[in-house]
Structure 1
Amino acid sequence: MSDRAIAPLVFITGASSGIGQALAARYYAAGYRLALSARRTNEIEAWAAALGLERSRVQVYGADVAQVDSIVSAGRDCIGRQGVPDVVIANAGISVGMDTEQREDLDVMAQTFAINNLGLAATFHPFVAPMRTRGSGRLVGIGSVAAIRGLPGHGAYCASKAGVVSYCESLRGELRSSGVKVVTICPGYIDTPLTQGNRYGMPFLLQPGEFADRAFRAIEAGSSYRVIPWQMGVVAKLLRIVPNALFDRGAQGRGRKKRRGEQ
Protein backbone atom coordinates (compact mmCIF):
# COMPACT_ATOMS: atom_id res chain seq x y z
CA MET A 1 0.00 0.00 0.00
CA SER A 2 1.37 3.46 -0.90
CA ASP A 3 2.26 6.20 1.57
CA ARG A 4 -0.56 8.27 0.09
CA ALA A 5 -3.09 5.67 1.19
CA ILE A 6 -1.53 5.26 4.62
CA ALA A 7 -0.73 8.69 6.01
CA PRO A 8 -2.50 12.07 5.90
CA LEU A 9 -0.72 15.02 4.29
CA VAL A 10 -0.04 18.57 5.50
CA PHE A 11 1.16 21.44 3.29
CA ILE A 12 2.99 24.22 5.18
CA THR A 13 4.42 27.49 3.86
CA GLY A 14 7.27 29.31 5.56
CA ALA A 15 8.60 25.96 6.72
CA SER A 16 12.29 26.88 6.74
CA SER A 17 12.28 28.33 10.28
CA GLY A 18 10.25 29.42 13.31
CA ILE A 19 6.61 28.48 13.64
CA GLY A 20 6.49 26.73 10.26
CA GLN A 21 9.36 24.43 11.15
CA ALA A 22 7.88 23.68 14.58
CA LEU A 23 4.53 22.81 12.99
CA ALA A 24 6.27 20.55 10.48
CA ALA A 25 7.98 18.66 13.31
CA ARG A 26 4.70 18.30 15.21
CA TYR A 27 2.81 16.98 12.21
CA TYR A 28 5.61 14.57 11.34
CA ALA A 29 5.52 13.23 14.92
CA ALA A 30 1.77 12.69 14.49
CA GLY A 31 2.38 10.48 11.45
CA TYR A 32 1.64 12.97 8.70
CA ARG A 33 3.45 13.20 5.40
CA LEU A 34 4.95 16.65 4.89
CA ALA A 35 4.74 19.02 1.93
CA LEU A 36 7.00 21.91 2.95
CA SER A 37 7.31 25.16 1.04
CA ALA A 38 9.73 28.07 1.38
CA ARG A 39 12.13 30.19 -0.63
CA ARG A 40 15.09 28.73 1.27
CA THR A 41 14.63 25.07 0.40
CA ASN A 42 18.20 24.23 1.39
CA GLU A 43 17.37 25.10 4.99
CA ILE A 44 14.41 22.72 4.98
CA GLU A 45 16.57 19.99 3.47
CA ALA A 46 19.27 20.51 6.10
CA TRP A 47 16.70 20.50 8.92
CA ALA A 48 15.07 17.28 7.66
CA ALA A 49 18.47 15.59 7.33
CA ALA A 50 19.57 16.71 10.81
CA LEU A 51 16.42 15.20 12.36
CA GLY A 52 16.74 12.02 10.31
CA LEU A 53 13.26 12.34 8.81
CA GLU A 54 12.14 9.61 6.42
CA ARG A 55 12.51 11.18 2.99
CA SER A 56 9.59 9.15 1.66
CA ARG A 57 7.40 11.25 3.99
CA VAL A 58 8.89 14.66 3.14
CA GLN A 59 8.65 16.65 -0.08
CA VAL A 60 10.08 20.16 -0.42
CA TYR A 61 8.70 22.82 -2.77
CA GLY A 62 10.55 26.01 -3.57
CA ALA A 63 8.16 28.96 -3.76
CA ASP A 64 7.86 32.66 -2.97
CA VAL A 65 4.45 33.49 -1.51
CA ALA A 66 4.92 37.11 -2.58
CA GLN A 67 4.64 35.87 -6.17
CA VAL A 68 1.15 34.50 -6.79
CA ASP A 69 2.09 32.20 -9.64
CA SER A 70 5.02 30.81 -7.66
CA ILE A 71 3.01 29.59 -4.68
CA VAL A 72 0.04 28.50 -6.83
CA SER A 73 2.44 26.39 -8.91
CA ALA A 74 3.89 24.82 -5.74
CA GLY A 75 0.40 23.90 -4.56
CA ARG A 76 -0.48 22.30 -7.87
CA ASP A 77 2.84 20.45 -7.88
CA CYS A 78 2.04 19.11 -4.40
CA ILE A 79 -1.31 17.78 -5.60
CA GLY A 80 0.36 16.11 -8.58
CA ARG A 81 3.12 14.49 -6.51
CA GLN A 82 1.52 13.74 -3.16
CA GLY A 83 -2.23 14.19 -3.57
CA VAL A 84 -4.66 16.68 -2.06
CA PRO A 85 -3.53 17.60 1.47
CA ASP A 86 -5.69 17.03 4.50
CA VAL A 87 -4.36 20.24 6.08
CA VAL A 88 -2.95 23.39 4.45
CA ILE A 89 -1.24 25.89 6.75
CA ALA A 90 -0.59 29.34 5.27
CA ASN A 91 2.12 30.27 7.73
CA ALA A 92 4.60 32.35 5.70
CA GLY A 93 4.69 35.96 6.82
CA ILE A 94 6.87 38.95 7.61
CA SER A 95 6.82 41.55 10.37
CA VAL A 96 8.66 44.82 9.75
CA GLY A 97 8.14 48.18 11.45
CA MET A 98 6.99 51.14 9.38
CA ASP A 99 6.76 54.91 9.56
CA THR A 100 4.17 56.35 7.16
CA GLU A 101 6.22 59.57 6.95
CA GLN A 102 8.98 57.64 5.18
CA ARG A 103 8.37 56.94 1.47
CA GLU A 104 10.35 53.69 1.48
CA ASP A 105 8.12 52.29 4.19
CA LEU A 106 5.15 52.34 1.83
CA ASP A 107 7.05 49.71 -0.13
CA VAL A 108 7.47 47.76 3.09
CA MET A 109 3.70 47.90 3.59
CA ALA A 110 3.06 46.73 0.03
CA GLN A 111 5.41 43.77 0.51
CA THR A 112 3.83 42.92 3.87
CA PHE A 113 0.37 42.76 2.29
CA ALA A 114 1.72 40.80 -0.69
CA ILE A 115 3.11 38.11 1.62
CA ASN A 116 0.77 38.11 4.60
CA ASN A 117 -2.53 38.58 2.73
CA LEU A 118 -2.40 37.88 -0.99
CA GLY A 119 0.18 35.15 -0.39
CA LEU A 120 -2.15 33.48 2.09
CA ALA A 121 -5.07 33.47 -0.36
CA ALA A 122 -2.79 32.22 -3.14
CA THR A 123 -1.59 29.41 -0.86
CA PHE A 124 -5.18 28.23 -0.36
CA HIS A 125 -6.25 28.70 -3.99
CA PRO A 126 -5.05 25.41 -5.58
CA PHE A 127 -6.61 23.34 -2.79
CA VAL A 128 -10.09 24.83 -2.43
CA ALA A 129 -11.76 23.10 -5.39
CA PRO A 130 -10.27 19.61 -4.82
CA MET A 131 -11.00 19.78 -1.09
CA ARG A 132 -14.57 20.84 -1.81
CA THR A 133 -14.94 17.96 -4.28
CA ARG A 134 -13.58 15.52 -1.70
CA GLY A 135 -15.78 17.03 0.99
CA SER A 136 -13.06 17.43 3.61
CA GLY A 137 -9.93 19.36 4.53
CA ARG A 138 -8.61 22.12 6.75
CA LEU A 139 -7.34 25.49 5.53
CA VAL A 140 -5.38 27.20 8.30
CA GLY A 141 -4.53 30.89 8.32
CA ILE A 142 -1.89 32.12 10.74
CA GLY A 143 -2.99 35.50 12.09
CA SER A 144 -1.71 37.24 15.22
CA VAL A 145 -2.97 38.92 18.36
CA ALA A 146 -1.59 42.04 16.66
CA ALA A 147 -4.77 41.89 14.58
CA ILE A 148 -6.83 43.02 17.58
CA ARG A 149 -5.54 46.60 17.95
CA GLY A 150 -3.15 48.77 15.98
CA LEU A 151 0.16 49.45 17.71
CA PRO A 152 2.51 52.39 17.01
CA GLY A 153 5.14 51.48 14.44
CA HIS A 154 3.31 48.26 13.57
CA GLY A 155 0.85 49.66 11.04
CA ALA A 156 1.68 47.29 8.19
CA TYR A 157 1.82 44.16 10.34
CA CYS A 158 -1.27 44.89 12.45
CA ALA A 159 -3.32 45.79 9.38
CA SER A 160 -2.18 42.70 7.50
CA LYS A 161 -3.03 40.36 10.35
CA ALA A 162 -6.43 42.00 10.86
CA GLY A 163 -6.90 41.27 7.16
CA VAL A 164 -5.97 37.61 7.70
CA VAL A 165 -8.64 37.26 10.39
CA SER A 166 -11.35 38.89 8.27
CA TYR A 167 -10.38 37.00 5.12
CA CYS A 168 -10.45 33.63 6.90
CA GLU A 169 -13.81 34.49 8.40
CA SER A 170 -15.17 35.24 4.92
CA LEU A 171 -13.72 32.03 3.48
CA ARG A 172 -15.14 30.04 6.39
CA GLY A 173 -18.61 31.26 5.48
CA GLU A 174 -18.11 30.44 1.82
CA LEU A 175 -17.07 26.86 2.60
CA ARG A 176 -19.47 26.25 5.48
CA SER A 177 -21.52 23.47 3.85
CA SER A 178 -18.64 21.92 1.90
CA GLY A 179 -17.02 19.84 4.63
CA VAL A 180 -13.88 22.01 4.38
CA LYS A 181 -13.04 23.78 7.65
CA VAL A 182 -11.24 27.13 7.84
CA VAL A 183 -9.18 27.59 11.01
CA THR A 184 -7.70 30.89 12.16
CA ILE A 185 -4.78 30.61 14.58
CA CYS A 186 -3.61 33.82 16.25
CA PRO A 187 -0.25 33.39 17.99
CA GLY A 188 0.78 35.65 20.82
CA TYR A 189 4.51 36.03 21.38
CA ILE A 190 6.49 33.01 20.17
CA ASP A 191 10.27 32.81 20.57
CA THR A 192 11.27 32.82 16.89
CA PRO A 193 13.57 34.92 14.67
CA LEU A 194 10.49 37.06 13.90
CA THR A 195 10.21 38.24 17.52
CA GLN A 196 13.75 38.05 18.85
CA GLY A 197 14.57 41.58 17.75
CA ASN A 198 11.55 43.15 19.43
CA ARG A 199 12.31 46.13 21.66
CA TYR A 200 9.49 45.65 24.16
CA GLY A 201 8.22 43.14 26.69
CA MET A 202 6.61 39.96 25.39
CA PRO A 203 4.25 38.51 28.03
CA PHE A 204 3.36 34.81 28.00
CA LEU A 205 6.21 34.06 25.57
CA LEU A 206 5.98 30.51 24.22
CA GLN A 207 8.63 28.26 22.74
CA PRO A 208 7.87 27.20 19.14
CA GLY A 209 7.37 23.54 20.07
CA GLU A 210 4.78 24.35 22.71
CA PHE A 211 2.93 26.64 20.31
CA ALA A 212 2.98 23.95 17.60
CA ASP A 213 1.54 21.37 19.99
CA ARG A 214 -1.36 23.63 20.97
CA ALA A 215 -1.97 24.71 17.38
CA PHE A 216 -1.99 21.08 16.23
CA ARG A 217 -4.71 20.23 18.74
CA ALA A 218 -6.80 23.25 17.73
CA ILE A 219 -6.50 22.39 14.03
CA GLU A 220 -7.33 18.73 14.58
CA ALA A 221 -10.41 19.82 16.55
CA GLY A 222 -11.48 22.02 13.66
CA SER A 223 -11.64 25.15 15.82
CA SER A 224 -12.75 28.17 13.81
CA TYR A 225 -10.60 30.63 15.78
CA ARG A 226 -7.99 30.17 18.48
CA VAL A 227 -5.55 32.53 20.23
CA ILE A 228 -2.41 30.79 21.51
CA PRO A 229 -1.63 31.07 24.37
CA TRP A 230 -5.13 31.62 25.73
CA GLN A 231 -3.87 34.24 28.18
CA MET A 232 -3.06 36.52 25.25
CA GLY A 233 -6.59 35.99 24.01
CA VAL A 234 -7.90 37.38 27.29
CA VAL A 235 -5.51 40.34 27.09
CA ALA A 236 -6.52 41.00 23.49
CA LYS A 237 -10.24 41.03 24.34
CA LEU A 238 -9.63 43.44 27.19
CA LEU A 239 -7.61 45.72 24.91
CA ARG A 240 -10.42 45.68 22.37
CA ILE A 241 -12.92 47.12 24.84
CA VAL A 242 -10.58 49.69 26.39
CA PRO A 243 -11.62 53.23 25.33
CA ASN A 244 -9.39 54.70 22.62
CA ALA A 245 -8.12 57.53 24.81
CA LEU A 246 -6.96 55.08 27.49
CA PHE A 247 -5.48 52.68 24.95
CA ASP A 248 -3.57 55.47 23.18
CA ARG A 249 -2.16 56.68 26.49
CA GLY A 250 -1.00 53.19 27.38
CA ALA A 251 0.64 52.66 23.99
CA GLN A 252 2.53 55.96 24.19
CA GLY A 253 6.24 55.40 24.61
CA ARG A 254 5.98 51.68 23.83
CA GLY A 255 8.94 50.37 21.85
CA ARG A 256 8.32 50.40 18.12
CA LYS A 257 9.13 47.47 15.86
CA LYS A 258 12.37 47.97 13.97
CA ARG A 259 12.08 49.43 10.50
CA ARG A 260 13.92 47.81 7.63
CA GLY A 261 17.62 48.50 7.93
CA GLU A 262 17.54 49.42 11.62
CA GLN A 263 19.95 47.58 13.87
Structure 2
Amino acid sequence: MTGLVYITGASSGIGQALALQYYRAGWSLALVARRDAQMREWAQAQGLDAARWRVYAADVSVPESIAAAGRACIAQQGLPQVVIANAGISIGMDSAYFEDLQVMQQVYATNNIGLAATFQPFIAPMRERRGGTLVGIASVAGIRGLPGHGAYCSSKAAVISYCESLRGECRPDGVRVVTIAPGYIDTPLTRQNRYSMPFLMQPEDFARRAFEAISAGASFRVIPWQMGVVARLLRVLPNAWFDRLLAGRPRKHRQGAGHPPEAGKT
Protein backbone atom coordinates (compact mmCIF):
# COMPACT_ATOMS: atom_id res chain seq x y z
CA MET A 1 0.00 0.00 0.00
CA THR A 2 1.13 3.55 -0.72
CA GLY A 3 -0.48 6.92 -0.22
CA LEU A 4 0.15 10.07 1.79
CA VAL A 5 1.94 10.04 5.14
CA TYR A 6 1.93 13.02 7.50
CA ILE A 7 4.95 13.24 9.84
CA THR A 8 5.66 15.78 12.59
CA GLY A 9 9.17 16.49 13.81
CA ALA A 10 10.40 15.66 10.32
CA SER A 11 13.43 17.94 10.27
CA SER A 12 15.83 15.61 12.08
CA GLY A 13 16.41 12.24 13.73
CA ILE A 14 13.61 9.70 13.69
CA GLY A 15 11.21 11.93 11.76
CA GLN A 16 13.66 12.50 8.94
CA ALA A 17 14.49 8.80 8.74
CA LEU A 18 10.78 7.91 8.63
CA ALA A 19 10.23 10.43 5.84
CA LEU A 20 12.96 8.84 3.71
CA GLN A 21 11.69 5.33 4.46
CA TYR A 22 8.17 6.16 3.35
CA TYR A 23 9.33 8.11 0.30
CA ARG A 24 11.51 5.23 -0.90
CA ALA A 25 8.54 2.92 -0.47
CA GLY A 26 6.55 5.06 -2.92
CA TRP A 27 4.59 7.28 -0.53
CA SER A 28 3.98 11.02 -0.81
CA LEU A 29 5.02 13.15 2.16
CA ALA A 30 3.44 15.86 4.29
CA LEU A 31 6.30 17.05 6.48
CA VAL A 32 5.78 19.20 9.55
CA ALA A 33 8.53 21.15 11.30
CA ARG A 34 9.16 24.52 12.90
CA ARG A 35 12.23 24.93 10.68
CA ASP A 36 10.33 24.71 7.41
CA ALA A 37 13.08 26.33 5.32
CA GLN A 38 15.59 23.78 6.58
CA MET A 39 13.08 21.03 5.85
CA ARG A 40 12.71 22.19 2.24
CA GLU A 41 16.48 22.41 1.80
CA TRP A 42 16.83 18.85 3.08
CA ALA A 43 14.14 17.49 0.73
CA GLN A 44 15.73 19.22 -2.23
CA ALA A 45 19.21 18.00 -1.26
CA GLN A 46 17.85 14.44 -1.13
CA GLY A 47 16.55 14.84 -4.69
CA LEU A 48 12.94 14.16 -3.68
CA ASP A 49 10.38 14.64 -6.44
CA ALA A 50 8.77 18.02 -5.74
CA ALA A 51 5.37 16.62 -6.73
CA ARG A 52 5.50 14.11 -3.88
CA TRP A 53 6.21 16.28 -0.86
CA ARG A 54 5.04 19.43 0.86
CA VAL A 55 6.25 21.14 4.04
CA TYR A 56 4.03 22.71 6.70
CA ALA A 57 5.50 25.08 9.29
CA ALA A 58 4.05 24.55 12.75
CA ASP A 59 4.94 24.59 16.43
CA VAL A 60 3.73 21.30 17.87
CA SER A 61 3.64 22.78 21.38
CA VAL A 62 0.93 25.25 20.27
CA PRO A 63 -2.36 23.37 19.62
CA GLU A 64 -3.73 26.00 17.25
CA SER A 65 -0.53 25.88 15.17
CA ILE A 66 -0.27 22.12 14.74
CA ALA A 67 -4.01 21.67 14.21
CA ALA A 68 -3.91 24.34 11.49
CA ALA A 69 -1.08 22.43 9.78
CA GLY A 70 -3.24 19.31 9.73
CA ARG A 71 -6.17 21.16 8.19
CA ALA A 72 -3.83 22.70 5.60
CA CYS A 73 -2.56 19.25 4.67
CA ILE A 74 -6.09 17.97 4.09
CA ALA A 75 -6.92 21.02 1.97
CA GLN A 76 -3.74 20.90 -0.12
CA GLN A 77 -2.84 17.20 -0.36
CA GLY A 78 -5.92 15.34 0.78
CA LEU A 79 -6.54 13.13 3.79
CA PRO A 80 -3.44 11.06 4.67
CA GLN A 81 -3.53 7.31 5.03
CA VAL A 82 -1.01 7.49 7.89
CA VAL A 83 -0.38 10.25 10.45
CA ILE A 84 2.77 9.91 12.58
CA ALA A 85 2.95 12.13 15.68
CA ASN A 86 6.71 11.94 16.10
CA ALA A 87 7.69 15.40 17.39
CA GLY A 88 8.98 15.26 20.95
CA ILE A 89 11.48 16.81 23.33
CA SER A 90 13.54 15.45 26.19
CA ILE A 91 14.79 17.76 28.94
CA GLY A 92 16.18 16.73 32.29
CA MET A 93 14.57 18.19 35.39
CA ASP A 94 14.88 18.30 39.16
CA SER A 95 11.65 18.93 41.06
CA ALA A 96 13.63 20.63 43.83
CA TYR A 97 13.93 23.62 41.47
CA PHE A 98 10.72 25.61 41.08
CA GLU A 99 11.73 26.69 37.57
CA ASP A 100 11.90 23.06 36.48
CA LEU A 101 8.12 22.88 36.74
CA GLN A 102 8.20 25.00 33.59
CA VAL A 103 10.40 22.33 32.01
CA MET A 104 7.72 19.75 32.76
CA GLN A 105 5.06 22.05 31.33
CA GLN A 106 7.14 22.50 28.16
CA VAL A 107 7.67 18.75 27.74
CA TYR A 108 3.98 17.96 28.25
CA ALA A 109 2.96 20.73 25.84
CA THR A 110 4.95 19.09 23.04
CA ASN A 111 4.88 15.39 23.88
CA ASN A 112 1.26 15.11 25.03
CA ILE A 113 -1.00 18.03 24.14
CA GLY A 114 0.94 18.42 20.89
CA LEU A 115 0.44 14.76 20.03
CA ALA A 116 -3.32 14.96 20.64
CA ALA A 117 -3.53 18.19 18.62
CA THR A 118 -1.59 16.50 15.80
CA PHE A 119 -4.21 13.76 15.54
CA GLN A 120 -7.28 15.95 16.09
CA PRO A 121 -7.87 17.30 12.55
CA PHE A 122 -7.68 13.81 11.04
CA ILE A 123 -9.88 11.77 13.40
CA ALA A 124 -13.34 12.80 12.16
CA PRO A 125 -12.53 12.58 8.42
CA MET A 126 -10.77 9.23 8.92
CA ARG A 127 -13.83 7.94 10.77
CA GLU A 128 -16.04 9.17 7.95
CA ARG A 129 -13.78 7.42 5.43
CA ARG A 130 -13.65 4.39 7.74
CA GLY A 131 -9.93 4.05 7.28
CA GLY A 132 -6.60 5.47 8.31
CA THR A 133 -3.78 4.97 10.80
CA LEU A 134 -2.70 7.25 13.63
CA VAL A 135 0.79 6.54 14.99
CA GLY A 136 2.06 7.82 18.32
CA ILE A 137 5.79 7.69 18.97
CA ALA A 138 6.24 6.84 22.65
CA SER A 139 9.40 5.47 24.28
CA VAL A 140 10.66 2.61 26.40
CA ALA A 141 11.30 5.40 28.92
CA GLY A 142 7.54 5.45 29.44
CA ILE A 143 7.65 2.01 31.11
CA ARG A 144 9.44 3.03 34.34
CA GLY A 145 10.65 6.36 35.72
CA LEU A 146 14.35 7.24 35.48
CA PRO A 147 16.23 9.70 37.74
CA GLY A 148 16.31 13.23 36.35
CA HIS A 149 13.93 12.16 33.61
CA GLY A 150 10.62 12.75 35.38
CA ALA A 151 9.11 14.99 32.72
CA TYR A 152 10.10 12.83 29.76
CA CYS A 153 9.31 9.43 31.31
CA SER A 154 5.91 10.55 32.56
CA SER A 155 5.10 12.21 29.24
CA LYS A 156 5.88 9.02 27.32
CA ALA A 157 3.89 6.92 29.77
CA ALA A 158 1.01 9.27 29.02
CA VAL A 159 1.54 8.78 25.27
CA ILE A 160 1.18 5.02 25.73
CA SER A 161 -2.02 5.36 27.78
CA TYR A 162 -3.49 8.06 25.54
CA CYS A 163 -2.93 6.04 22.37
CA GLU A 164 -4.45 2.99 24.03
CA SER A 165 -7.55 5.01 24.92
CA LEU A 166 -7.75 6.46 21.40
CA ARG A 167 -7.36 3.00 19.88
CA GLY A 168 -10.49 1.84 21.68
CA GLU A 169 -12.40 4.93 20.57
CA CYS A 170 -11.41 4.67 16.90
CA ARG A 171 -11.53 0.92 16.36
CA PRO A 172 -15.31 0.75 15.69
CA ASP A 173 -14.89 3.22 12.82
CA GLY A 174 -12.08 1.35 11.07
CA VAL A 175 -9.30 3.74 12.17
CA ARG A 176 -6.17 2.08 13.57
CA VAL A 177 -4.02 3.55 16.32
CA VAL A 178 -0.44 2.30 16.56
CA THR A 179 1.97 2.97 19.41
CA ILE A 180 5.68 2.69 18.64
CA ALA A 181 8.06 2.71 21.62
CA PRO A 182 11.67 3.24 20.52
CA GLY A 183 14.58 2.19 22.66
CA TYR A 184 17.78 4.17 22.33
CA ILE A 185 18.14 5.75 18.88
CA ASP A 186 21.23 7.69 17.81
CA THR A 187 19.70 11.19 17.53
CA PRO A 188 20.53 14.67 18.83
CA LEU A 189 18.24 13.91 21.81
CA THR A 190 20.17 10.84 22.97
CA ARG A 191 23.68 12.14 22.25
CA GLN A 192 23.38 14.34 25.33
CA ASN A 193 22.85 11.34 27.62
CA ARG A 194 25.68 10.57 30.03
CA TYR A 195 24.73 6.97 30.77
CA SER A 196 25.00 3.71 28.85
CA MET A 197 22.44 3.13 26.09
CA PRO A 198 22.08 -0.59 25.35
CA PHE A 199 20.98 -1.73 21.89
CA LEU A 200 21.55 1.75 20.41
CA MET A 201 20.07 1.88 16.90
CA GLN A 202 20.68 4.09 13.90
CA PRO A 203 17.61 6.13 12.85
CA GLU A 204 17.47 4.39 9.45
CA ASP A 205 17.25 0.94 11.06
CA PHE A 206 14.53 2.14 13.41
CA ALA A 207 12.56 3.71 10.55
CA ARG A 208 12.60 0.47 8.56
CA ARG A 209 11.32 -1.57 11.49
CA ALA A 210 8.72 1.04 12.40
CA PHE A 211 7.49 1.11 8.80
CA GLU A 212 7.10 -2.66 8.89
CA ALA A 213 5.24 -2.57 12.22
CA ILE A 214 2.85 0.16 11.04
CA SER A 215 2.23 -1.63 7.74
CA ALA A 216 1.55 -4.90 9.59
CA GLY A 217 -1.10 -3.23 11.74
CA ALA A 218 0.65 -3.72 15.07
CA SER A 219 -1.15 -1.99 17.94
CA PHE A 220 2.00 -1.66 20.09
CA ARG A 221 5.61 -2.35 19.19
CA VAL A 222 8.89 -1.79 21.03
CA ILE A 223 11.87 -1.28 18.69
CA PRO A 224 14.36 -2.92 18.80
CA TRP A 225 12.90 -6.21 20.01
CA GLN A 226 15.66 -6.59 22.60
CA MET A 227 14.37 -3.48 24.34
CA GLY A 228 10.92 -5.04 24.22
CA VAL A 229 12.25 -7.88 26.35
CA VAL A 230 13.83 -5.35 28.72
CA ALA A 231 10.54 -3.43 28.88
CA ARG A 232 8.56 -6.54 29.82
CA LEU A 233 11.06 -7.34 32.57
CA LEU A 234 10.97 -3.78 33.88
CA ARG A 235 7.18 -3.90 34.13
CA VAL A 236 7.30 -6.80 36.59
CA LEU A 237 10.52 -5.96 38.42
CA PRO A 238 9.82 -5.28 42.13
CA ASN A 239 10.45 -1.68 43.18
CA ALA A 240 13.29 -2.63 45.54
CA TRP A 241 15.13 -4.42 42.72
CA PHE A 242 14.45 -1.58 40.29
CA ASP A 243 15.78 1.00 42.77
CA ARG A 244 18.91 -1.09 43.34
CA LEU A 245 19.43 -1.41 39.59
CA LEU A 246 19.40 2.39 39.18
CA ALA A 247 21.55 3.14 42.21
CA GLY A 248 24.47 5.32 41.12
CA ARG A 249 23.13 5.79 37.59
CA PRO A 250 23.94 9.31 36.28
CA ARG A 251 20.94 11.60 36.11
CA LYS A 252 19.62 13.17 32.96
CA HIS A 253 21.16 16.64 32.52
CA ARG A 254 19.00 19.51 33.72
CA GLN A 255 18.38 22.35 31.31
CA GLY A 256 20.92 24.94 32.48
CA ALA A 257 22.29 22.48 35.02
CA GLY A 258 23.72 23.95 38.18
CA HIS A 259 24.34 22.86 41.73
CA PRO A 260 21.47 21.22 43.63
CA PRO A 261 19.39 23.80 45.51
CA GLU A 262 19.53 24.15 49.23
CA ALA A 263 16.53 22.86 51.12
CA GLY A 264 13.66 25.28 50.98
CA LYS A 265 15.14 27.39 48.17
CA THR A 266 13.98 27.60 44.56
Structure 2: runs of 5 or more not aligned? 259-266
Partner of 2:195: 200
Match of 2:152 among 151, 157, 160: 157
Amino acid at match of 1:132: R
Does the alignment pair 1:126 with 2:121?
Answer: yes
SS of residue matched to 2:109 = helix
CA distance in 2, matches of 1:256, 1:53: 41
Partner of 1:28: 23
Q: Which secondary structure does the structure 1 equivalent of 2:133 belong to?
A: strand
Q: 2:68 aligns with which of 60, 64, 73?
A: 73
Which residue of structure 1 lines up, in the alignment, with residue 101 of structure 2? 106
Contact 2:137–2:182, Cα closer than 8 Å, also in 1: yes
- Counterpart CA distance in 2 for 1:106 and 1:7 is 43
Aligned to 1:8: 3
What is the TM-score normalised by the length of structure 1?
Answer: 0.96
Whole-angstrom distance in 1 between the partners of 2:148 and 2:40: 35
1:232 aligns with 2:188: no
Q: What does 1:31-50 align with in structure 2 at a 5 Å threshold? A: 31-50=26-45
- Any runs of at least 4 consecutive aligned residues in structure 1 with deviations exceeding 4 A, and if so which? none
Partner in structure 2 of residue 3 of structure 1: none
Question: Deviation of residue 7 (structure 1)?
Answer: 5.4
Structure 2: which amino acid aligns with 1:33?
A: S
- For the 8 Å contact 2:2–2:25, the answer to whether it is kept is no
1:261 Cα deviation from its structure 2 partner? 2.2
1:79 and 1:36 mapped to 2: Cα distance? Answer: 13
How many percent of aligned residue pairs carry the same amino acid?
67
Count of residue pairs the alignment pairs up: 258
For structure 1, the residue ranges without an aligned partner over 5 or more in a row are 1-5
1:172 and 2:172 equivalent? no
Q: Does 1:189 align with 2:184?
A: yes
How many angstroms apart in 1 are the aligned matches of 2:2 and 2:78? 11
- Give the secondary-structure state (helix, strand or coil) at the position aligned to 2:55: strand
Alpha-carbon shift at residue 262 of structure 1 (Å): 3.8
User: TM-score normalized by structure 2?
Assistant: 0.95
Q: Is the 8 A contact 2:84 2:134 kept in 1?
A: yes
Q: Does 2:246 match 1:219?
A: no
The more displaced of 183-192 and 36-45 is 36-45
Partner of 1:260: 255
In the alignment, the residues of structure 1 paired with residue 210 and residue 133 of structure 2 have an alpha-carbon distance, to the nearest angstrom, of: 13
Summarize the Cα distance change of 1:262–1:52 in structure 2 as closer, same or farther, 3 Å threshold: farther
- What is the CA–CA distance in structure 1 between the aligned matches of 2:27 and 2:237, rounded to whole Å? 43
The match for 2:82 is: 87
1:167-196 deviations in Å (ceiling 9; x for gaps): 000000001111110000000000000101
SS in 2 for 1:92: coil
RMSD, matched Cα:
1.1
Partner of 2:177: helix, strand, or coil? strand
Task: Report if the CA contact (8 A) 2:34-2:58 is conserved.
Answer: yes
Supply the AA of the counterpart residue of 2:49: E
Further displaced range: 85-94 or 235-244: 235-244
- Of residues 137, 146, 155, the one that matches 2:132 is 137
